[in-house]
Amino acid sequence: MYTSPILKLGKRDGILARTTHPVVIAGPCSAESEAQMLQTARGLKKLQGVSIFRAGIWKPRTRPGTFQGMGTAGLEWLKTVKQETGLRTACEVAGTSHVAEALKHEVDVLIIGAHTTVNPFLVQEIADALKGVTIPVLVKNPVNPDLPLWLGALERLQQSGVSDLGAMHRGFSTLDNAPYRNHPKWDHVMELKSIHPDLPVYCDASHIAGRRSLLRPVSQRAISLGYDGLMLEAHHNPAAALSDAGQQLMPQELDMLLQSLNYESIDPEAARQGVEMEELRKQIEYLDDELLDLLSRRSKVSARMESFPKAGVAEALQVVHWDLVLENLLLQANSAGINKDFVQTVFQEVRKHYAQTYLYQA
Ligand code: PEP
Ligand code: MN
């Protein structure tokens, strides 16, 4: 269990904490044009539950030459959305110049992106730029599953006086993310929640899922775990989106998704146990792979023995040898607390399978 030098991160009476219903942040991955922003925002304004409109202004893209975001022009459109719909606005900031621009355009909530949370220098600069400013900040988890790094970013902001602070879970880059775009690793977030129970936690279902079909189960899991809010990307015409086209929903699709979620059955303990069970299942899968790998290595060694037939000795000797091996294995099983009959059966089967080879063992 990690600890935090700051005893209490976040607060329950800020705008990021859920009241009766979770807070829903929705909007396009990227601000593309004033028409796209307004059309999407007008659709979202009608949805019950959506209270914050997001849009990416500066986009962290993997390769140069792809769409990098519209920059300051996008902030003007965000301001127009706020004036016209009354929705609060949110955007990602990845440096001090972004902070200054966003504050100038009266953005209501700042988001620190996953690619920024990984960099303590940048986070500290942003935290310093926010000294004396009252604005809620949501900190996404770092790209890699590193809880102290996530905590560190939150602590830097809190130390700068940002008290309306929240954590946003957007999934992690792991060796095997399938079927997700970013693996949720729910247990990681459970640990954060247990260290800082007052810290509002959001789920960015879009960047975890990466595809529309997974948005519902990911959102439901977050709700069942008692998250304070959801963030879902929405676009009036997702197929034409300049970024993340495959994971954005039309406002009416988002409406259906939000209505299909079960908000009543919040049983964080049951959901926590479900998460743990999933982790244990993954461990079993991993160990089964290891077992298979061991059997394969064993079979290769056996195969090599077959190439030395002249080194063979009488089978009678092998019986004695095998009895000693088995006796030793059963003793080990006993001290490891594994059922001896089970171990005996397993090894006898393994031996039977490689009986041919045992003839040659010295
Ligand atoms: C985003 O929210 O559009 C985004 C780029 O997210 P992340 O920082 O999670 O990659
Ligand atoms: Mn996106």
Any ligand 1 atom below 6 A from CB of 29: yes
Question: pLDDT tens, 87-136?
Answer: 999 999 999 999 999 999 999 999 999 999 999 999 999 999 999 999 99
Looking from the CA of residue 207, the nearest atom of ligand 1 is 9
Which atom, in ligand 1's list, is nearest to the CA of 116? 8
Ligand 1 binding pocket includes 114 (Cβ within 6 Å):
yes
Q: With 0.85 as the threshold, say if the pTM is over it.
A: no
Tell me the domain boundaries of the chain.
23-264, 272-359
**Mapped to the 3 state alphabet, what secondary structure does the chain carry?**
CCCCCCCCCCCCCCCCCCCCCCEEEEECCECCCHHHHHHHHHHHHCCCCEEEEECECCCCCCCCCCCCCCCHHHHHHHHHHHHHHCCEEEEECCCHHHHHHHHHCCCCEEEECHHHHCCHHHHHHHHHHCCCCCCCEEEECCCCCCHHHHHHHHHHHHHCCCCCEEEEECCECCCCCCCCCCECCHHHHHHHHHHCCCCCEEEEHHHHHCCHHHHHHHHHHHHHCCCCEEEEEECCCHHHCCCCHHHCECHHHHHHHHHHCCCCCCCHHHHHHHHHHHHHHHHHHHHHHHHHHHHHHHHHHHHHHCCCHHHCCCHHHHHHHHHHHHHHHHHHHHHHCCCHHHHHHHHHHHHHHCHHHHCCCC
**What pLDDT, in 10s, does the model give residues 318-349?**
666 888 889 999 999 999 999 999 999 998 88
Shortest-distance atom of ligand 1 to CA 56: 3
Asked if residue 170 has its Cβ within 6 Å of ligand 1, the reply is yes
**Arch. (CATH architecture) of 23-264:** Alpha-Beta Barrel (3.20)
Q: Which ligand is nearest to the CA of 140?
A: 1
